[in-house]
Chains A and B, each alone.
Chain A
């Protein structure tokens, strides 16, 4: 009886997964085998291994890596600080708040801030550095992306820091471990799960960022996401777009497998 009931409860979930996860994935895979003329072939996969797309793949992965790294470097100390604060709920809310604003809106705000005559450059001019090109550089792309992703890294790390039993830290101190050693040998390994899920939550979307590459990087950064967008919306070469998507999915699977199976655990 109970077995039957749980099966019934599973139906909505199974339907959801089937319709909105598995079916689209199957369709992406299916489309990837068709050329622009609608012939079945593997030609799109061969095209992926030409210099244009390989270069694009390398730069996508490189930028996603940088974005994840900087996000982690900022988010971990922030999350740690958060656990020591008094009004944690309020601070947490303030960190989550910006995620309620549409990404495009935020991107447009950054165009204004980082432009030649924007706030950042006016400040630079004021202190004598002079106006620099900030907008439309690789730097601005990483900077804005990191800003957008920080909340998604802070939350899981904060959660695992919260769960950390403080008596472990006390014990480490009592046994003579320095602050650094406590962090390296006790705190960080115990919050690794949070770091991993944070990295996944950042790296995977960072791989396929596309609007920012135009708005903030002025197409100086071309990621696989840009190419997918173009193939689906402009060229209408759905086959090639789907093929790139297949490779992105593969990359994500690899990342998740590495994260799951101790890639980071050996630290």
Chain B
């Protein structure tokens, strides 16, 4: 009995000490004064030296936190609690948050570098006139494949995936919008098509792909594809960059029928305590040298046209990750679906997954 009480007291003391240290730590980092800038971004999505540079130049102290999905980020913003000054949601999430009045308009007077952004990536459907957002990185959905494993075959289109020779060779990303979108594209429909008949047709076509599908996976594809577990993967361009870094045998293609183009964007959430700092940060990140440095570090494509000058030729001339206008014209941004339509896409996807044994 005595032993137990001694242990309990010890645990209690430990908890108190830890609580004190924790309070001390958070107290010194999240005190929301004018001199702090709290950024909420995707994990591993910025060159950390840029944060130091920004702190030195503007005299703010940056608090940097990360999330791993748009939905997780949304929940945290909705709950309040921490006041973030700058967030980086994807395209459809920008419209969603705008409609829910969770974003503040950006004062572009404080963002003169906006002129550096490629006009192709301005004024997009999810945020007309860029009232609430400025693009940060962009990319596509496409096919990464290992030509050596396919006997030198070249894949150029979604429909190539239905080839009978590719039995059990494809890894699909476990995401409803991407895969249903791929099916729609393969039938030359828009990724935003919600026509009942077209969707039925798409499901039937996708079900015919099942003999070629090895697995439907998440981030594990970045582990599996370089190890030659399968020859073909359907995924996001940023993942493709990582995979190709690890195994240069692989290459990436944006299918010719068209595909999705996505944007992650800097935005200022409601409740920001340092709006001016956030705008300064947006401007700082659009500076050509900084944007180039960031793009080189992260590996995704920068929408900053002026930054091209500072990017190595090998990167900026790579049409696979910096497709030209001719190709981007064929790419579509996802519309923000209503909840029921989102549910419908997911149920179709579930039915497709059920047919794959």
Of chain B, the residue at the smallest CB distance from A236 is B339
Choose among A116, A230, A235, A236 the residue with the greatest number of B CB atoms under 10 Å from its CB.
A235
Tell me whether A218 and B215 are in contact (CB under 8 A): yes
How far is the CB of A211 from the nearest CB of chain B, in Å? 10
Interchain CA distance A136-B353 in the complex, whole Å: 13
A117 at the interface (CB under 8 A from B): yes
B52 at the interface (CB under 8 A from A): no
Mask: chain B, 322-351; 1 = CB below 8 Å from A; 0 = not? 000000000000000001101100110011
Tell me whether B343 and A235 are in contact (CB under 8 A): yes
Binds B, one of A25-33, A151-159, A171-179, A219-227: A219-227
How far is the CB of A16 from the nearest CB of chain B, in Å? 18
B354 at the interface (CB under 8 A from A): yes
- Interfacial residues of chain B within 173-213, with CB under 8 A of chain A in the complex: 174, 176
> Given A115-B227, A117-B229, A234-B176, A220 and B339 touching (CB < 8 A)?
no
A83 at the interface (CB under 8 A from B): no
CB-CB under 8 A from B71, the residues of chain A are 233-234, 236
Tell me whether B228 and A117 are in contact (CB under 8 A): yes
Interchain CA distance A236-B229 in the complex, whole Å: 33
Tell me whether A214 and B339 are in contact (CB under 8 A): no
Tell me whether B168 and A133 are in contact (CB under 8 A): yes
Binds A, one of B15-23, B109-117, B216-224, B266-274: B216-224
Tell me whether B354 and A52 are in contact (CB under 8 A): yes
CB-CB under 8 A from A230, the residues of chain B are 346, 350
Tell me whether B217 and A218 are in contact (CB under 8 A): yes
Interchain CA distance A237-B216 in the complex, whole Å: 22
- Interfacial residues of chain A within 170-229, with CB under 8 A of chain B in the complex: 214-215, 217-220, 222, 227
B31 at the interface (CB under 8 A from A): no
Tell me whether A52 and B224 are in contact (CB under 8 A): no
Interchain CA distance A70-B182 in the complex, whole Å: 40
Tell me whether B350 and A52 are in contact (CB under 8 A): yes
A15 at the interface (CB under 8 A from B): no
CB-CB under 8 A from A218, the residues of chain B are 171, 214-217
Interchain CA distance A52-B343 in the complex, whole Å: 14
Interchain CA distance A108-B223 in the complex, whole Å: 10
CB-CB under 8 A from B215, the residues of chain A are 135-136, 217-220
Interchain CA distance A64-B351 in the complex, whole Å: 21
Interchain CA distance A111-B215 in the complex, whole Å: 12
A56 at the interface (CB under 8 A from B): yes
> Given A117-B227, A234-B176, A222 and B354 touching (CB < 8 A)?
yes
Q: How many cross-chain pairs have Cβ atoms below 8 Å apart between A and B? A: 78
> Given A55-B354, A56-B354, A135 and B216 touching (CB < 8 A)?
no
- Interfacial residues of chain A within 3-47, with CB under 8 A of chain B in the complex: 36-37
Interchain CA distance A133-B171 in the complex, whole Å: 14
Question: Which residue in A55, A133, A220, A234 is a CB contact (below 8 Å) of B346?
Answer: A234
CB-CB under 8 A from B131, the residues of chain A are none
CB-CB under 8 A from A220, the residues of chain B are 215, 356-357
Tell me whether B339 and A219 are in contact (CB under 8 A): no
> Given A214-B174, A222-B353, A235 and B227 touching (CB < 8 A)?
no
Question: Which residue in A37, A56, A219, A236 is a CB contact (below 8 Å) of B356?
Answer: A219
How far is the CB of A169 from the nearest CB of chain B, in Å? 38
CB-CB under 8 A from B350, the residues of chain A are 52, 222, 227, 230
How far is the CB of B174 from the nearest CB of chain A, in Å? 6
Of chain B, the residue at the smallest CB distance from A211 is B218
CB-CB under 8 A from B343, the residues of chain A are 36, 235-237, 240
Interchain CA distance A214-B356 in the complex, whole Å: 12
Mask: chain B, 215-248; 1 = CB below 8 Å from A; 0 = not? 1111010011001110000000000000000000
- Interfacial residues of chain B within 153-178, with CB under 8 A of chain A in the complex: 168, 171, 174, 176
> Given A52-B347, A236-B339, A136 and B354 touching (CB < 8 A)?
no
How far is the CB of B336 from the nearest CB of chain A, in Å? 13
- Interfacial residues of chain A within 216-260, with CB under 8 A of chain B in the complex: 217-220, 222, 227, 230-231, 233-237, 240
CB-CB under 8 A from A233, the residues of chain B are 71
Of chain A, the residue at the smallest CB distance from B214 is A136
How far is the CB of A53 from the nearest CB of chain B, in Å? 9
Tell me whether B229 and A214 are in contact (CB under 8 A): no
How far is the CB of A176 from the nearest CB of chain B, in Å? 51
Question: Which residue in A55, A219, A234, A237 is a CB contact (below 8 Å) of B217?
Answer: A219
CB-CB under 8 A from B176, the residues of chain A are 234
Tell me whether A37 and B228 are in contact (CB under 8 A): no
Tell me whether B224 and A37 are in contact (CB under 8 A): no
Add 10 more A-B contacts to A37-B339, A115-B229, A230-B350 (CB < 8 A): A108-B220, A111-B223, A117-B229, A136-B215, A214-B216, A219-B353, A230-B346, A233-B71, A234-B176, A237-B343
Interchain Cβ contacts under 8 Å between A and B, 23 examples = A52-B351, A55-B354, A111-B220, A111-B223, A111-B224, A117-B228, A135-B229, A214-B218, A215-B217, A218-B215, A218-B217, A219-B215, A219-B216, A219-B217, A219-B353, A220-B215, A227-B350, A234-B176, A235-B346, A236-B342, A236-B343, A237-B339, A240-B343
Residues of chain A having any CB pair with chain B under 8 Å = 36-37, 52, 55-56, 108, 111, 115-117, 133, 135-136, 138, 214-215, 217-220, 222, 227, 230-231, 233-237, 240
